Amino acid sequence: MKFFIKKFETKNRKYIYDINNSLLYEVGTLHNLIIDMINENMDTRGIVNLLCDRYDITTIENSIDEIYDMINIGIKSIDQYKNEIENNHWSIDSLSFILTRECNFSCKYCYINNDISHEDVMSFDVAQKSVDYLLSNSADDIVMIIFFGGEPLMNKEVLLKTIKYANRKKKEYNKEILYSITTNATLLDDELLEILIKNKCLFNISIDGDSKTHDVCRTYKNGKGTFQDIIRNIEKIPKNLKQARGTLTNFNKDLYKLQKELFNYDFNNVHFEVVSSDNDLFRIHDENLDKIVIEYNIICEEIYDSIIKGKFNSDMPVYGQVKDDLEKIDNQTNLAYFCKASKSYFSVDVDGKLYPCHRFVGMKKYYIGDVFDGINNNNRLFLDSNVFNKHKCQKCWAKFLCGGGCYYDSLLLMKDINVPNNQKCFLIKSFLEISFKLYLRLIEEGFDVTKLYRSQTKRHFEKT
C-alpha cells in the first residue's frame, strides 16, 4: 500500500496528498498515525491494537476505513486512466517550425545537431505544407504555430509569408491561430516587431540573466557578448507578450538573483531550466543542486511574505516555475506525460520531416513522419513512454504532477527515453514540495491562489 499518499505539514496543520487522485486533505493526528502504519504494511488488527489505548476502537476503525476507501477510489480511477492512456492516439494542436538550423549566436551548450545533409533553411513551400498539415489535422478550434530555430529571424522572409498565409488559410478551417517565437531577439527590426505584435505573437526570449552571466555562454560567433543587443531590441515588445527563457549552467547557478534581475527588464514571465548537457564544463554538478533548491525556497518565501504583508498586486512578477507548480496543484493535475511532445505538439524540420519536438530534430532514429504523408508508426515509441511504463516512476509520489520527465533529457543523460534523469527528478520533486507548502500556507490565509498562477499572457480572440 506504500506510495499512494504523501504527507505535508504547515506550522499548524497536517495534510495528506492522495497521489492517484491528485487531491489534498487536511487530517488530524490519528489519520497521520494510521497512514504511517499502513505504509509499514500493518493490517487493521495490528493498527487497532497499537492505538486502542489512546483512541476509541470505533473511531480507529472508522478512520482506517476512510483511508482505505480513499486509496481504493484512487486505485480504481488510476486503473481507468491507465486504460485510456494505453489506447491514446496523437491529436495535433501545436507545431513548431524550424525555420532554419542556422544561428547568429554560438551558445556553448546548444543542443542543435548541425551535421545534416539537407538545406539549413525552410522554404516557403514547406512552410505552406506545414500550415496546411496543422490546420487540416487538428480537431481543436485554436491551434498554435511556434517559430523556432536555430535563430528563426534569420529566415525573416519565410516567417512573414507564413503568418500571412496562415491568417488567410485559417478562415477556410474556421480556426484561430496563436503565434509564438523563440528567439534571441538580436535580429528584430521595426517591420518584424509591428507584424508580430499585431498578431499577438508571444516572444520567448533566450536570455540567461544579467550581462555578466548571460555573456559567458551566449555569444556571437566572434565571441562578442550579446546581452546588450537583446535588451535594446526587446524594449518595444509589450510586457504581456514578453517572456524570458533562461538556462542554468555551471556558470550561472544563482536562481534567485537571476530571476530578480530579469524581472527588472519588464518581462511578464521568467523561467529557467537546468541545462541539458553531459559536458562536465556546463552541466550543474550534483553538489550544487541543494543551492538551487534553497534559492527556489527563498523565491517562494518572498512571495508568501509579500502577500501576508499586503504588498501583492496583480502586476507582481511571479517566477514561472512557481506559477506552473501552483497551477498543477490547484487544478488537481494528473499527468501521464511530461509534456505534449508527440501527442499534440510536433516539430517540423526545414525539409518537412516531423519529430516529437524541436530537441529531436535531425535525429534520424526519432523521425516520425512528414507534413506530406503524415505520422508514421515510430510515434508509438513516445505514446508508450508514460509514467505507467517507466519503472523509476512507479514509486514516485510526484509522478502525476511531473509526467515522467523530458524525453530528450532522458535520452541524452540516461541513454533511454524511458529512464528519467536523477538530477532532474531531484529538482522537480524538491520544487514541488516547496510549492505545496506555499500553496497550503496561502490557502490557510484565505488567499485566492489563482491570482498567482493566472497567466497574464492568455490571449482572447474574436472570430474574424
Asked if 106 and 221 count as a contact pair (C-beta separation under 8 A), the reply is yes
Average pLDDT over the chain, rounded to an integer: 91
**Which of 162-171, 373-382, 434-443 is the least confident region?**
373-382
- Per residue in 200-223, pLDDT (tens digit) is 999 999 999 989 889 999 999 999
Count H helices, E strands: the chain?
16, 13
Q: How far is CA 206 from CA 18, 110, 219, 256, 272, in A?
A: 37, 12, 12, 18, 10
Label residue 458 by pLDDT band (50, 70, 90).
Answer: very low
| Cell numbers linked to 287 | 553538489
Of 258-267, 276-285, 353-362, give the lowest mean pLDDT range: 276-285
Which pTM value belongs to this model?
A: 0.92
Q: How far apart are CA 360 and CA 379, in angstroms?
A: 12
Beta pairing partners, 244: 205, 270
Percent of the chain whose predicted confidence (pLDDT) is above 70: 95
CB 231 within 8 A of CB 265: yes
The whole-number pLDDT of residue 461 equals 36
Per-residue pLDDT, 220: 94
Please report which confidence band the pLDDT of residue 455 belongs to, taking 50, 70 and 90 as the band edges: low
Q: What is the DSSP letter of 249?
A: B
Pairing mode of beta strands 269-274, 242-248: parallel
Integer Cα distance of 431 and 446 in angstroms:
23
Q: What is the mean pLDDT of residues 86-110?
A: 91
